[in-house]
Structure 1
Amino acid sequence: MSARDTAEYDQELFAGTAGYYARYRPPYPAEAVAYLVDGFGLGAGTAVLDLGCGTGQVAVPLAQAGCRVWAVDPDMDMIVEGTRHQPAGLAGDVRWLVSRAEDLRAEDLPPMRLCTMGASFHWMDRAGVLAFLDTVVEPGGGVALLSGSSSIWSRNGEMQGDWVETARAVITEFLGPQRRAGAGTYSHPKLTHEQVLAGSAFNAVEQRRFTVTRLLSVDEVVGLQLSTSYASPSLLGDRLAQFRQEFTRRLEQIAPDEGFATVEHNDVIVARRGGGGGSAG
């Protein structure tokens, strides 16, 4: 299995991860959210579409900024957890919806100022989704892709910490040397996100990196990996308890008293309509 540019979605990708996702996935940096709020003039009543929303890591901060957010994910468990963990007293609101991005219809949505995707675009039919977004994103709006920081397999080293090599070793021992993804294995898409955007209506692209350092406990390191498509409880099956025990044991052997200092690089790609590229018409 590769990251897709098709209309398929493997329901096993994040099977069993939703509870871990809600508890252990780190928030995106507040500065990254502010960058989007300022750049697109988001605020009270602004309509935002969040595709592949997970349990609300992007949707909730935008609702806290006053936006009306349509939070969409194909995994029912993610939507259930997102709804359950939604904080009270949001300045805006979140409307949770179980759907693939590819199945949305423009007539069911209002004009959107912005569409966000937090570490989810690579699972989609990227060109098809961008063509759809050209029909629902209002003039002056755009698309924002936010990188996650949970993957120990990243080509660009977004996740850095003393525990990363231990995580790779334990996951490889339990699940094999190839990066898993649902029912198959994972390979990066041939085209970068920037290359796909260049062929779309949203071809005016800028990128910013936001770096934070967090201290992670042993429990947080283990829980973070269990929130992923490559080390999900579903993949581990009846070896889940053994995996947790062995991973915990090895981490405790190297854990500093204050926790693991972990550097997270979060890249935000912002794309607006430019003068060239494709368009949905």
Structure 2
Amino acid sequence: MPEGWRWDRTLFQGSAVHYARGRLPYAPGFGESLAGALGLDGRGRLLDVGCGPGTVTLPLARFFTEAVGLDPDEDMLAEGARRAARDGVANVRWVTARAEDLPAGLGGFRTVTFAQSFHWTEREQVAAAVLGMLEPGGTLVHIADLKDPPPAAAPLPLPAPPYTLIGELVRHYLGPVRRAGQGVLAHGTPGGEDAVFAGAGFAPAGRQVVPAGQVAIRTVDDLVAWAFSRSDSAPHLFGDRLPDFERDLRALLGVHAPDGRFAEHIPPTEIRMWRKGRCAHRGTPGDR
């Protein structure tokens, strides 16, 4: 992990109730695109590592017999379970554990997903554990917003959220170094995920970009939730200054959109896949 940061339970403390509202969704249809690429047919099991409130777990669950959402934050899992009950998704099991605890007695899986969560883990250890948990021919999937998407064809109908100014306000309260739990922020995977997965024994299996670009209308409440959904501006980091920060954030947003509404384009979703070879063997789920 990057120097100066170690995982601790406060990483997203207080963020769970804000996550689903604050974060933009993945591209509509990303689940169908993944199902088509992998030939998912309602059989087998899914493991979603670092699942948060089920952002990926819930839309993918219908393509499997069972889905397991794994996260160390119990509040995130409780929010995921609440959303599953609301949406009538009954085949999800929620497990409190870190990725480093795998295989954790969970058994074998057809597909294991990481939705912008792999960079928080001990990468080589976790990749090796996942390889051992996948069925022959199974797939590890990394899902993320597409970086540097092409410019949108149409202008926005409302002001864009002032994310740069929000970041400046966060730094005013928390200092210039981006916070993460009791340490500083982990910045991606050095060298990229490909080298880690190849080193563990995976073979590249493809890449898809699911287009989006739809306009999302965002309110002041949505953007306050966005700020509190992030590890580097989670509510607990502000201590007794939290009410002051929220007051100043709402004032800032009010200046840029007097009617309280913003707009932004939903970014495309990038899906990358790595396959476990049918002859690969790095241990079974019971070996570790």
> TM > 0.5 between the two?
yes
State the match for 2:225 in structure 1.
Answer: 223
Instruction: Give the match's secondary structure for 1:44.
Output: coil
CA distance in 1, matches of 2:43, 2:264: 36
Return closer, same or farther for 1:128/1:39 CA change in 2, 3 Å cut-off: same
TM-score of the two chains, using structure 2 as the length reference:
0.83
CA offset digits 1:214-252 (Å, max 9, x no partner): 221111111011011000011011111111111111111
Instruction: Give 4+ residue runs of structure 1 displaced > 6 Å after superposition.
Output: none
State the match for 2:34 in structure 1.
Answer: 36
Return closer, same or farther for 1:111/1:3 CA change in 2, 3 Å cut-off: farther
- 1:203 Cα deviation from its structure 2 partner: 2.9
- 1:204 Cα deviation from its structure 2 partner: 0.9
Please point out which of 56, 62, 73 is paired with 2:54. 56
Return closer, same or farther for 1:20/1:133 CA change in 2, 3 Å cut-off: same
- 1:88 Cα deviation from its structure 2 partner: 4.6
State the match for 1:249 in structure 2.
Answer: 251
- 1:91 Cα deviation from its structure 2 partner: 5.9
Task: Structure 1: state its 5+ residue gaps.
Answer: 150-155
Q: Is the 8 A contact 1:118 1:148 kept in 2?
A: no
State the match for 2:203 in structure 1.
Answer: 203
CA distance in 1, matches of 2:110, 2:221: 38
- 1:85 Cα deviation from its structure 2 partner: 2.3
Give the count of matched residue pairs: 270
2:181 aligned partner, one-letter code:
G
Q: Quick check: 1:120 aligned with 2:117?
A: yes
Instruction: Give the match's secondary structure for 2:111.
Output: strand
- 1:131 Cα deviation from its structure 2 partner: 0.9
What is the alpha-carbon root mean square deviation over aligned residues? 2.8
- 42-51 or 11-20: bigger deviation: 42-51
Q: Is the 8 A contact 2:84 2:90 kept in 1?
A: no
Instruction: Give the match's secondary structure for 1:246.
Output: helix
Instruction: Give the match's secondary structure for 1:54.
Output: coil
1:217 aligned partner, one-letter code:
T
TM-score of the two chains, using structure 1 as the length reference:
0.85
Q: Within 5 A, what are the aligned runs for 1:172-191?
A: 172-188=171-187, 189-191=189-191
State the match for 2:194 in structure 1.
Answer: 194
CA distance in 2, matches of 1:2, 1:274: 31
CA distance in 2, matches of 1:279, 1:54: 30
Rg (Cα) greater in structure: 2
1:248 aligned partner, one-letter code:
R
Aligned-residue identity in percent: 33
1:111 aligned partner, one-letter code:
G
Q: Is the 8 A contact 2:137 2:277 kept in 1?
A: no
CA distance in 2, matches of 1:201, 1:83: 34
CA distance in 2, matches of 1:13, 1:163: 24
CA distance in 2, matches of 1:176, 1:32: 37
Return closer, same or farther for 1:135/1:94 CA change in 2, 3 Å cut-off: same
